[in-house]
Structure 1
Amino acid sequence: MSIDTSIPAVARLRAPEPSTDRDPAPRRRSELASFLRSRRERLDPEVLGLPTGTRRRTPGLRREEVAQLAGVGVTWYTWLEQGRQINASVQVLDAVARTLKLDQAETEHLYRLADVPAVPAVGNCRRLDPEVQQILDALRPLPAAVTNGRSDVLAWNRSYALLFPFLVNAPEDKRNSMWQVFTAPECCHPFVNRKEELGRMVANFRARYGRHVGEPAWDEFVKRLCAASPEFAELWAEHSVAEGGVRVKTFRHPALGDMNVVVTTLEVAANPGVRMMVYTPNDDATRDRIELLRQDSLESGHTYACGHSFEAPPLAELPSPVSPCPEMAGIRLALGTERGTAL
């Protein structure tokens, strides 16, 4: 009798297959397929000038009709709606969104499901509903403004305009608090504690930027501001990050003197990234000075110590650009109590 003393070959170990339950990509593509199909089926061919006929088995448009109207290949669109793993460009998704008559929320949802990092703004609408302006005006004499995540100032009340006329009077592409505080001359800068506040603003901006990495509008803004302000470029290179917190800001105003305020942030829940900034006095002297902003105008002729003029234009020349906007209909303010660090 012989005994086999050989050692059996060790079976090659194989890494376990990745669990599709943990991989969000297949689920996202499946959700994309269902979403596109539902949006296609809600469209009326007759309204779009397409023949209805009697051979339509399902409601809405056919896949080939969507592809034709969007100017994309039928096979490509079919694969997209089937949830296959294909690459979709911003331009093509934008064409599909227009064809399917998607609103702003639906279009942004489409881009997220397609895993496209650069979600473009829908149209160029920067305006808000008139109700937002009513809220801003009702807050007077407290200065208040509405901004987006990139710090573009979208709307304001009269008190805010009198406090920051250089900002609201800037061209639209530079009507941005980050841009203005980094390009303003140091001799007449609105911040008393300039160095500290600028560093904090960049750290807050970096935190918001982290949610928009790769988006052309954000990257272009950072590039422009780095070119316009070496100081911003230096702070940006430090990669400091900070979320908004309780901050007391001190502004220097030629007509009113130094003003200590706290900025309270009210998030606009229906429009992510859009927020209302309300400035409340932090001491009795500032409260008295803010009360002066209830007037329609300040006396002219004020200058900074450096000699630069500070002129608040007449009321008629400081309109807030709020008017009806279809993409932002139904806007509602979620009255949060986070205190932010905008200008």
Structure 2
Amino acid sequence: MTTMATPLTQQAAPGVSAPDIRRHELANFLRSRRERITPEQVGLVRGRRRRTPGLRREEVAQLSAVGVTWYTWLEQARDIQVSPQVLDAVARALLLDRSERSHLFSLAAAIDPAPGTDCPHVTSALRTMLRQLEPIPACVQNSRYDILAHNRTYGRLLCDLEEVAPEDRNVMLLAHTNEQWRASVMDTAEVTRYITAKFRASMAEHLAEPAWKELLGRLEAASEEFRENWARHEVVGAGSRSKVFRNAWVGLLRVEATDLWLGPSSGPRLVSYAPRDDETYERLARLQELVRAAED
């Protein structure tokens, strides 16, 4: 009786090492998992021009808070170093179940820092919560300030997020490079200085991670304002804060920003903007109706 060997247990072809085979198995596994997930499952809008089955590579990179180039190399079976923390983030982005997560770490020859973990962080229940919070704007952000999911009023709070490429849906990038976003903020200079200090504090735990270094490089290349604020070395912690926005569709909005952590304090969080007065609530309700009308 003979048994069929898997690619990982077969003799390597001449010139092909076992690590090469393992990397290709990992690449194929990641691609297959990415292609099975619909944008709606992770809180993204499908759009009319989507040709890729499942998620795009840049969308997985955004959800994982890793660089697009780095994730592309991973799917291309490049010989790159992969930390357990990054594998954990990729597993969560791809909604792997426990068996799939274990398989991922085995292929990467890495030790799972949290074996048996249920991976999804933007669950269907959380997406339902985002929708039910309307007209209160709300979104889910990770520690790198990538916007992982949002409801309709948040999607029109500071700019039209549907017009922004998925890989650019990052609060730091939008606050420094998106003119509509910047025009919606009452005191742009103060706000960008404040969020730069928050970003520096958050980055302290991720200094060596490629995605964080890539984002820092993009910000430094794109914005003199960011470079000046970054050079101040200011840090500030998380906390609620009153804000005033000049919304392009309904006018002034006075809100209280609140973070609800969905895990460890360095992980994803739900950010909501509760109205501070009746006039703001009425304007948010009008914004919600405008978005609904645009969808019809």
Q: Distance in 2 between matches of 1:297 and 1:185?
A: 21
Q: CA deviation at 1:315?
A: 2.4
Measured against aligned partners, the alpha-carbon deviations of 1:62-84 in whole angstroms (never above 9, x if no partner) come to xxxx879637xxxxxxxxxxxxx
Q: 1:285 to 1:68 in 2, by over 3 A?
A: closer
Which residue of the partner structure matches residue 146 of structure 2? 152
Q: Give the partner amino acid of 1:200.
A: Y
Match of 1:258 among 244, 252, 258: 252
Aligned partner of 2:295 in structure 1 is: 315
Amino acid at match of 1:162: R
Q: Is structure 2 residue 81 aligned with structure 1 residue 90?
A: yes
**Cα contact 1:141–1:294 (8 A) shared by 2:** yes
CA spacing shift, 1:103–1:204, aligned 2, 3 Å: farther
Cα distance between partner residues in 2 of 1:105 and 1:252: 46
CA distance in 2, matches of 1:176, 1:225: 11
Separation (CA, whole Å) in 2 of partners of 1:151 and 1:294: 24
- The answer for the alignment partner of 1:196 in structure 2 is 190
Point out where structure 2 has 5 or more consecutive residues left out of the alignment: 10-17, 24-79, 92-98, 114-118
Give the alignment's TM-score, normalised by structure 2.
0.60
Q: Which residue does 2:72 correspond to in 1?
A: none
Match of 1:70 in 2: 22
Distance (whole Å) between structure 2 residues aligned to residue 288 and residue 92 of structure 1: 47
SS at match of 2:160: helix
More helix by share: 2
Quick one: which of 281, 288, 291 aligns to 2:282? 288
CA drift of 1:47 comes to: 8.4
**1:168-317 alignment to 2 at 5 Å?**
168-185=162-179, 189-269=183-263, 273-297=267-291, 314-315=294-295
- Contact 1:255–1:298 at 8 Å: present in 2 too? no
Q: Of the two, which has the highest radius of gyration?
A: 1
Q: Deviations over 1:97-140 (max 9, x none)?
A: 99x964499689x5797xxxxxxxxxxx9983322211110111
Gap change, CA 1:227 and 1:219, over 3 Å in 2: same
Displacement over 4 Å in runs of 4+: 45-51, 66-69, 91-95, 100-108, 110-113
**In structure 2, what is the Cα distance between the partners aligned to 1:50 and 1:91?**
19
Structure showing greater relative contact order (alpha-carbon pairs closer than 8 Å, 6 or more residues apart): 1
Q: Distance in 2 between matches of 1:185 and 1:68?
A: 46
The one-letter amino acid paired with 2:81 is: V
User: What TM-score results when the alignment is normalised by the length of structure 1?
Assistant: 0.53
CA distance in 2 between counterparts of 1:296 and 1:186 reads: 18
**How far apart are the structure 2 equivalents of 1:278 and 1:160?**
9
Contact 1:203 1:241 in 2 (8 A): yes
SS of the counterpart of 2:136? Answer: coil
Alignment of 1:92-111 (within 5 A): 102-103=101-102, 110=110
- Structure 1 pair 199–271 and aligned structure 2 pair: CA distance change class (3 A): closer
- What is the aligned length? 218
Cα distance in 2 for partners of 1:172, 1:103 equals 28
* Inter-partner Cα distance in structure 2 for 1:174 and 1:221: 10
Write the distance in 1 (CA, Å) between the matches of 2:277 and 2:248: 19
Provide closer, same or farther for how the CA distance between residues 255 and 148 of structure 1 changes in structure 2, counting only shifts above 3 A: same
Partners of 2:239 and 2:259 within 8 A in 1:
no
Question: In 2, Cα distance between the equivalents of 1:288 and 1:212?
Answer: 41
List gaps (5 residues or longer) in structure 1.
Answer: 1-44, 52-65, 72-88, 114-124, 300-313, 317-343
Q: Kindly state the Cα deviation for residue 165 of structure 1 after the two structures are TM-superposed.
A: 3.6
Amino acid at match of 1:208: S
Q: Distance in 2 between matches of 1:241 and 1:112?
A: 32
